[in-house]
């Protein structure tokens, strides 16, 4: 589990750096698909990761709207604020948590139960999916996207 | 590892079904970003998954070009042909394989070593990333994309 979170955090930092080179109006521009703009996507990634990890720990959700964080610097600051809690949870992850039940409510009010292992993978895939959308929008504005490679990031040291 | 592969296979099948409802010219149309068209993306996902898993087993690579499989039915048939080998490898995965070294060659001819655990996650993230691109293109042609949710797919049964 940890290598995928570390992968996402590395790629996220690279997208923040990528954003520094792009005019803010391009970062805020409404786009087709996903949640609709580059900065809104980065905010959404940070929000969803934190919210699920708080929810598993029975902690209050984060519900602030994007409008309160509509700049690269504000999103980075929010991410820095959330990271210690997220990282502590991810670092403490162990196999026995895979099937732990998370009772939850569907949008229609009926109840359902997710396994913690499903929720963790949901958070991981959620970011990778939205970053795929960023990669299309990057090309639309004529810029190379950040690499999505998992290899060559030093995530797991091969045995010798 | 297995839940993520099963997730990708479920989502991939749903994209194949989604493609059935879309005119073939839209599926083949050149698009901005990624590898350039919806069918080329699905072919690329199948190709890359199979090629890495063959490579770890020291088996010959798959090198056929997209032009030989440029229809939904041909890509589905290729995927069906590859799946038993891929599935056998994924099912046999165990933690001791995480750090097993995979000596490899960079595009420039110099040598490098990946850990098998990195390669498996690379294959998983590769598909999710490209599917994120499909989701933008789906909206461009006015259609709702396949859901990228990991939850609600029955991947891990919560304990009671």
Say which residues have a Cβ less than 8 Å from residue B17's Cβ, sequence separation at least 6: none
> How far apart (Å, rounded) are the C-alpha atoms in residues A41 and A130?
7
**In this model, does residue B61 exceed pLDDT 90?**
no
Asked whether the beta carbons of B115 and B26 are under 8 A apart, the reply is no
A129 is in an annotated binding site: no
Q: Is A126 annotated as a binding residue?
A: yes
DSSP B141: T
> Measured between alpha carbons, how far is A27 from A20 in angstroms, rounded to an integer?
10
What is the CATH superfamily name and number for domain B2-140? Answer: dinb family like domain (1.20.120.450)
Mean pLDDT, range B47-73, rounded to an integer: 97
Mode of pairing for the β-strands spanning B111-115 and B101-105 = antiparallel
Minimum distance, in Å, between the CA of residue A27 and any CA atom of chain B: 16
For chain B, the domains span 2-140
Measured between beta carbons, the chain B residues lying within 8 angstroms of A3 are: 117-118, 121
pLDDT tens for A79-96 read 999 999 999 999 999 999
Q: Report pTM.
A: 0.98
pLDDT at A107: 84
Tell me which chain A residues have a C-beta less than 8 angstroms from the C-beta of B110: none
Q: Cβ B158–A102 below 8 Å, yes or no? A: yes
* Whether the predicted pLDDT of B16 surpasses 90: yes
Over residues B140-159, the pLDDT tens digits come to 999 999 999 999 999 999 99
Confidence of residue B107 (pLDDT cuts 50, 70, 90): confident
Query: What does the pLDDT read at residue B143?
Result: 98
For residue A33, the chain B residue with the least C-alpha distance is: B136
Q: Does this complex have an ipTM over 0.90?
A: yes
Output the pLDDT for position B113.
Answer: 98
User: Which residues from chain A sit within 8 angstroms of residue B34, using beta carbons?
Assistant: 132, 135-136
**Average pLDDT of adjacent 10-residue blocks, chain A of 160 residues:** 98 98 98 97 98 97 95 98 98 97 93 98 98 98 98 96
For chain B, percent of residues with pLDDT exceeding 90:
98
Per-residue model confidence (pLDDT) at position A61: 86
């Amino acid at each position: 589990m940890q290598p995928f979170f570390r992968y996402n955090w590395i790629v996220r930092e690279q997208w923040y750096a990528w954003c520094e080179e792009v005019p803010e109006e391009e970062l805020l521009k409404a786009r087709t698909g996903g949640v609709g703009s580059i900065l809104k996507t980065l905010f959404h990634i940070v929000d969803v990761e934190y919210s699920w990890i708080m929810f598993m720990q029975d902690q209050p959700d984060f519900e602030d709207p994007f409008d309160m964080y509509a700049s690269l610097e504000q999103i980075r600051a929010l991410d820095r604020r959330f990271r210690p809690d997220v990282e502590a949870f991810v670092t403490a992850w162990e196999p026995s948590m895979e099937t732990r039940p998370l009772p939850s409510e569907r949008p229609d009010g009926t109840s359902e139960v997710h396994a913690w292992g499903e929720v963790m993978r949901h958070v991981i895939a959620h970011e990778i999916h939205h970053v795929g959308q960023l990669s299309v929008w990057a090309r639309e504005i004529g810029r190379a996207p950040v690499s999505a490679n998992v290899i060559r990031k030093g995530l797991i040291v091969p045995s010798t």
